[in-house]
Chains A and B, each alone.
Chain A
Amino acid sequence: MSTYLIKRVLFMIPLLLGITIICFFVMRLAPGSPTDLQTQMNPKASAEMKERLMSMYELDKPIHVQYWSWLKKLGRGDLGTSFSSDHRPVSDKILERLPITILINFLSLLIIIVVAVPIGVLSAVHQDSLFDKVTTVLVFIGFAVPTFWLALLLMIFFGISLGWLPISGLRSLNYEYLSAWEQLVDLAKHLILPVFISAFGGLAGLSRYMRANMLEVIRQDYILTARAKGLSERQVIYKHALRNALLPAITILGLSIPGLIGGSVIFETIFAIPGMGQLFYMSVMARDYPTVMGILLIGAILTLVGNLIADVSYALADPRIRIS
């Protein structure tokens, strides 16, 4: 097991190199430069000043030299300094925003599992029942709904018409005057809509997948055997069938991580949540190369680690898979 882990982690290095090379080159080959934004608005900016900025950011060097120096800095754990006016280290900017993004993504994964698995199982066990038909239709619509539109509708309904939930940010204005418990409630209220929206896409996918798996499993011989032994339907379904149907779902969860992380750009922008996705959007707009590269790297690492955890837990859960 440990050799497998080491191998997998080592394999992540060339993968990450590949990803960073693609991103780096694609970004730098695009026309325009970050110095345009800083000098355009300033009529006093001379060509000389622009050159000084370029050399300060090392943008005047050939692209492979730039990449190499970025990589060398990365080796020391340094993601560089942001091009934006605060000139703070990129790693600081990302780290202060990462926890909220991870929290929201983690909560939505949890919701996806807790809601989608029972839905999938129930609609498979009661195939062609009313419940099954209704959920099938809902799942189909769920695949097609643009999540940002759903977010807008929920904001209009729960936030504006009913006034139950706040529609932007993480904290109310009077946050500092609340007791610890009220602060928690306040945070939870702000999180309900974003977490639901980010979980929504995965809900449809996983519940359909669970249904398909379950349908396949309950037709297997060992389920027939379990029934023949005289086990109760409950035991057959929840002990024998569910376990086997759950296994492949772990991989699906691993694969859904890139979508979740990508989605955080959308819901953090809509709900004005100060997370990594919003930082990414702002940095992209400002052509802040070091920050964009840093977030792309962190996003890729999160995805790879998520996939690794999925694969490992799959192996731990299924004794037929021997990792060597």
Chain B
Amino acid sequence: MNFWEMFYKNKLALTGCSIVLFLFVVSLLAPVIAPYDPGAIDLKNVLAPPSGQHWFGTDQLGRDVLSRMIWGARISLKVGFVATGLAILIGMILGAVAGYYGGWIDATIMRFVDVMLCFPTFFLILAVIAFLEPSIWNIMIVIGLTGWMGVTRLVRADFISLRERDFVQAARAIGANDARIIFMHILPNALASILVAATLGIAGAILTESALSFLGIGVQPPTPSWGNILTAGKDNIDIAWWLSLYPGLAILITVVGYNLLGEGIRDAADPRLKR
């Protein structure tokens, strides 16, 4: 069975895929489908519970929570992709170099990975972002810069097992240089595991972003993000449960979606890994 057949038969993977596609569509069409302007303040309608007009209620400034969540989907998608893209890029290059060359280069890179891994990363992210002035770009960069270690290990392991294979020897024999062998010959064989790591990484990045925004050092209001709606939920915890419930549910469903998709890709790409 090929990849697509395997993937197609996996109902959970398809569910994950649909969730992710749905979020893409929602983010893309945010200006069209959001029932209200996400920034429109309505002081006559502050903290209104869910109703026919406002399905998910309104926040402390009378803004429509559903509309803010729809626009928030854009933010989480952006953060997830850019942060993970950066982490994958760094991890891929470092892992490829470490695995391909071995020796002291490998040892140095892997020690650096160890240092980064035994660190309460969230502390570092928090400190750096708070000092750099919170902004969506800083968040993406910092999450990316602290999330590449897993990818490095993965790519390195793939490279170590692939570098002595015949096709690499053959490429070397016809005079391909190192860069060509690494990027054109070995890396394509490691793509499946990188893709899985990327999908799961997006889920992690979205979780981190929402936690940072919740603490007030992520995406800054008035820009809506799921995390900062939850901050309002905490401030009004005894009167407005809807501010806490729905954005968190959105984060949960999104993360479940990416995780299902990632595991689906893994099972389809390498049935031996299926647990």
Contact = CB atoms under 8 A, between A and B. Distances in A.
A284 B126 contact: yes
A26 interface: yes
B133 A32 contact: yes
B56 to A, nearest CB: 15
Q: In which size bucket is the chain B interface?
A: 35 or more
B118 to A, nearest CB: 5
Contact of B203 (A144, A150, A281, A287): A144
B88 to A, nearest CB: 20
B146 to A, nearest CB: 11
A258 B118 CA distance: 7
B104 interface: no
Contacts of A99: none
Interface in A242-274: 255, 258-259, 261-263, 265-266, 269-270
Contact of A148 (B131, B211, B275): B211
Contacts of A149: 210, 230, 244, 247-248, 251-252
Given A149-B251, A153-B244, A19 B237 contact: no
A152 B120 contact: no
A141 B256 contact: yes
A281 B122 CA distance: 11
A153 to B, nearest CB: 7
Contact of A258 (B120, B203, B211): B120
B248 A153 contact: yes
Contact of A287 (B131, B234, B259, B275): B131
Interface in B218-275: 230, 233-234, 237-238, 241, 244-245, 247-248, 251-252, 255-256, 259, 275
B252 A141 contact: yes
Nearest to B112: A18
A26 B233 CA distance: 33
A284 B130 contact: yes
Interface string B69-93: 0000000000000000000000000
A296 B131 CA distance: 15
Contact of B244 (A26, A156, A258, A296): A156
B262 to A, nearest CB: 11
Given A140-B256, A152-B230, A292 B248 contact: no
B42 to A, nearest CB: 24
A299 B248 contact: no
Nearest to A258: B120
A273 B237 CA distance: 17
A131 interface: no
Given A265-B123, A266-B211, A152 B255 contact: no
A280 interface: yes
B126 A265 contact: yes
B43 interface: no
Interface stretch (A87-95, A109-117, A181-189, A300-308): A300-308
A144 B248 contact: no
A167 B234 CA distance: 11
B207 interface: yes
A15 interface: yes
B68 to A, nearest CB: 16
B236 to A, nearest CB: 11
Interface residues of A, number: 50
A15 B115 contact: yes
A230 interface: no
B148 to A, nearest CB: 14
A197 to B, nearest CB: 12
Contacts of B237: 152, 155-156, 160, 167
Q: Quick one: which of B123, B126, B207, B217 has the most chain A CB within 10 A?
A: B123
Nearest to A287: B131
A144 B252 contact: yes
A77 interface: no
Interface in B28-66: none
A122 B128 CA distance: 43
B214 interface: yes
Contact of A261 (B120, B233, B245, B255): B120
B132 interface: yes
Contacts of B259: 140, 143-144
12 contacts: A140-B259, A143-B255, A146-B210, A160-B238, A261-B123, A265-B122, A266-B214, A269-B215, A284-B130, A296-B127, A299-B123, A300-B120
Please list the 8 inter-chain residue pairs (A to B) with the smallest Cβ-Cβ separation, ordered nearest first: A262-B122, A149-B248, A30-B131, A144-B255, A262-B120, A152-B244, A284-B130, A258-B120
Given A145-B252, A265-B215, 18 more contacts: A19-B115, A30-B131, A32-B133, A140-B259, A144-B203, A144-B207, A144-B255, A146-B214, A149-B248, A150-B248, A152-B230, A152-B233, A152-B237, A258-B120, A262-B121, A265-B126, A266-B122, A280-B126
Interface of A: 15, 18-19, 22-23, 26-27, 30-32, 140-141, 143-146, 148-150, 152-153, 155-156, 160, 167, 212, 215, 255, 258-259, 261-263, 265-266, 269-270, 280-281, 284-285, 287, 292, 295-296, 299-300, 303-304, 307
